Chain A
Amino acid sequence: MQPHTLFWMLLGLAAYGYYLGRKRALTVSGGEIRRLHSLPDYYGYYVALWCALPALAILSLWLLLDDKIILRWVLAELPPAYRNLPPDRLSLTVNVIANLLAGERQANTVDPALAEAAEHYRHLKQLGYHALTVLVFACATAALTWAHRRISPTLRARNRVETVVRIALVASSVLAILTTIGIVLSVLFEALRFFEMVSPLEFFFGLHWSPQIAIRADQVGASGSFGFIPLLTGTLLITAIAMAVAAPLGLLSAIYLSEFAKRRTRAIVKPILEVLAGVPTVVYGFFAALVVAPWLRDLGARLGLSISSESALAAGLVMGIMIIPFVSSLTDDALTAVPRSLREGAYGLGATQAETITGVLLPAALPGIVSGLLLAVSRAIGETMIVVMAAGMAAKLTLNPLESVTTITVQIVALLVGDQEFDSPKTLAAFALGLTLFVVTLALNLVALHVIRKYREQYE
């Protein structure tokens, strides 16, 4: 039987186990559920879990290992001419066998010994599935019968089931954490390899970024330069422009929504504002490139300024619009969460609405506002599409918003598109940039968390 059929059969059996367990629990209770330690459902789950889990463990272990074991057997029986090959040649042979098995090569085009090996492999594999089927079903039925027998009114079925559930919960969160750690470590190690080729000093303090690596060592510009400062200034410049747009607009609209708007207006306006965050960034990108940038250029021409058609300003403005909801939504939530009693306290002292907002509500809502702003900043730093489309790819070291600049994320993309050697500094530079970006956003998040914790206790 094929493993996936086996899997579904097993689930079916477990469902049947649930039914049996529940029924038996009702039988042993003599119709009085209160005599049971747990509700009948738990006895059902208890049997089902016993039926499914050990068998599933065998199944997955088998699937994990069978290819390797069978391959070793097959190779061991090859003629000595093949057996004694050096490892890299041997892997070629294995490839031939694999191709035969996948039907990508015909048996008559290769050495008959290999064709025979492939046939042998197929045979063993099939045999393995038969054995697996017998094993899994034997295990599942045995466990089912055993668990079913154990059911009695005193069996603490609920506690057992809950233990399993708890283990599953812990396992999921551990998996999530391990994945994160894995990603960080892999980025870290690749970045370290990069720093073996390019000194960190050059990377972090270099003023010139042009990662073009020659294909042949004797070409002109054989070693690119990896100064990261122009990317940093570009990122900061665009983020600053975006925040200059998003912070005031977001704050003011949040104040309007929470303090001035009627409930009906608010119910309509708030979702519309939040849609801004849901527009795909590529749409913002072409809006910036095709509408805002030309408009800025024309405006500049009329004012006697030369604004390049790809400018930090265009990208920053549009990005600012995009991140308004991060600011406005969190600020609005924070303002609405300020207790009514504080508002009344201020009004009761004769504060005007403006004085209440600036003197009491905004300070009280500060943690929420700061975290909104920082969220917006990290969103802006990580944004790629708008910059690619509207600010260009040129790594210029400038703080002039009218010129074209590039950012860290854009350069990561630029480094990785196209065919790459995986050990060239050019490719590895992407990991170094990624690591830097990660550290920066992590630091921002930590600051945000700290601010929130520090001020959260200030009002109930």
Chain B
Amino acid sequence: MNTVITERHTTPDLETDDHRTVGDYTLAEPRFTCRHVNVFYGDKQALFDINLDIGQREVIALIGPSGCGKSTFLRCLNRMNDIIEGCRVEGDIRLDDQDIYAKEMDPVLLRARVGMVFQKPNPFPKSIYDNVAYGPRIHGLAANRTELDEIVETSLKRAGLWKEVKDRLDHPATGLSGGQQQRLCIARTIAVNPEVVLMDEPCSALDPIATATIEQLIDELRSRYTIVIVTHSMQQAARVSQRTAYFHMGRLIEVGETTEIFTNPRHPLTEDYITGRFG
């Protein structure tokens, strides 16, 4: 007990200390298992020895100060780092026990299984319908127009956008409001029927009302998909996630049940971050 208290008042030096993640990062039935993940941009190391399991049908929030590597970690999970020149990923990342960086894994197919929603809504300059239909079309998910219509409709319904746009599916998607655009991007992502949805600060460009809608949506999507969400809002992490992982300077500092992390953080860095923001 005594040691814990002294620990809380000395901020450990991450450059020299051999850091071990606080909390249990393993799960009994993981969807993703990440072990010893290091990521480099050129010579610069952005992630250091990350170990983390991500469960089935859970929402896990990645939090931490900006530049700590949350997005980088997220982008490892669907190999989006591949398209960045000079980015190198080391370690072992498995999806359903399949090495996603193995030679025989096609990143194109991986990304169909692991969808992604970005910080800024990025609908294609096409109609609302064509945005949602884009993924199913390139992956050949629909045999004919009726099936495609169905996919578009269910995806929009699941994203909670159907009522608002059903009469103007042929309108340009860029004419929607920011919140609607982001829900459209979510619909576009789930239209390819992914197992996992990665979200990189999906609400940071939205107003509070649109944010509330998206958070509610995330809660509903949890029953079908595993969701990994990066957020800079701790209230949001607390509201939508079951587990939370705290990153700091490229290290995974602490991971655990969200309620646990927010009420009883064990690592001093986690506590500083959480109390700093709340207090």
Residues on A lying within 8 angstroms of B by beta carbon are: 262-263, 339, 341-352, 355, 359-360, 363-364, 455, 457-459
Q: Is the CB of A341 within 8 A of B125?
A: no
Q: Is the CB of B122 within 8 A of A355?
A: no
- A364 and B130 alpha carbons, distance in the complex (Å): 13
Stretch from B15-23, B33-41, B55-63, B110-118 that touches the partner: B110-118
- A346 and B124 alpha carbons, distance in the complex (Å): 8
Stretch from B133-141, B212-220, B230-238, B270-278 that touches the partner: B133-141
Q: How large is the interface on B (under 10, 10 to 19, 20 to 34, 35 or more residues)?
A: 20 to 34
- List chain A residues, Cβ under 8 A from B118: 341, 344-345, 348
Contacts A341-B120, A344-B118, A363-B125 hold; do A458 and B174 have CB atoms under 8 A apart?
yes
Closest chain-B Cβ to A197's Cβ sits at a distance in Å of 53
Shortest 3 CB-CB contacts between residues of A and residues of B: A350-B112, A458-B125, A348-B116
Closest chain-A Cβ to B180's Cβ sits at a distance in Å of 15
Q: Is the CB of A348 within 8 A of B115?
A: yes
Closest chain-A Cβ to B193's Cβ sits at a distance in Å of 11
Q: Is the CB of A347 within 8 A of B174?
A: no
Candidates A341, A348, A351; contact of B80 at CB < 8 Å: A348
* Chief secondary structure at chain A's binding surface: helix
Q: Tell me, yes or no, whether B192 is within 8 Å of chain A by CB.
A: yes
Candidates A339, A455, A457; contact of B122 at CB < 8 Å: A339
Q: Tell me, yes or no, whether B143 is within 8 Å of chain A by CB.
A: no
Q: Is the CB of A350 within 8 A of B192?
A: yes
Q: Is the CB of B189 within 8 A of A348?
A: yes
Q: Tell me, yes or no, whether B109 is within 8 Å of chain A by CB.
A: yes
Q: Tell me, yes or no, whether B30 is within 8 Å of chain A by CB.
A: no
Q: Is the CB of A457 within 8 A of B174?
A: yes
Q: Tell me, yes or no, whether B188 is within 8 Å of chain A by CB.
A: yes
- List chain B residues, Cβ under 8 A from A352: 108, 138
Q: Is the CB of A349 within 8 A of B112?
A: yes
Which residue of A has the minimal Cβ distance to B113?
A350
Candidates A347, A350, A360; contact of B124 at CB < 8 Å: A360
Residue among B112, B116, B120, B138 with max Cβ neighbours from chain A (10 Å)? B138
- A351 and B111 alpha carbons, distance in the complex (Å): 8
Closest chain-B Cβ to A347's Cβ sits at a distance in Å of 6
Contacts A341-B118, A364-B124 hold; do A347 and B80 have CB atoms under 8 A apart?
yes
- List chain B residues, Cβ under 8 A from A364: 124-125
Closest chain-A Cβ to B178's Cβ sits at a distance in Å of 11
Which residue of B has the minimal Cβ distance to A343?
B83
Beyond the given A348-B111, A351-B135, please list 17 additional residue pairs across the A-B interface where CB-CB is below 8 A.
A342-B122, A344-B116, A345-B123, A345-B124, A347-B80, A348-B78, A349-B112, A349-B138, A349-B188, A349-B192, A350-B138, A352-B108, A359-B124, A363-B125, A364-B124, A458-B172, A458-B174
- List chain A residues, Cβ under 8 A from B139: 350
- List chain B residues, Cβ under 8 A from A458: 125, 172, 174
- List chain A residues, Cβ under 8 A from B112: 349-350
Q: Tell me, yes or no, whether B224 is within 8 Å of chain A by CB.
A: no
Q: Tell me, yes or no, whether B185 is within 8 Å of chain A by CB.
A: yes
Closest chain-A Cβ to B225's Cβ sits at a distance in Å of 15
21 contacts between A and B (CB under 8 A): A262-B85, A263-B85, A341-B120, A343-B83, A344-B122, A346-B134, A347-B80, A347-B111, A348-B78, A348-B111, A348-B115, A348-B118, A348-B189, A349-B111, A349-B115, A349-B192, A360-B124, A360-B134, A363-B124, A364-B124, A364-B125
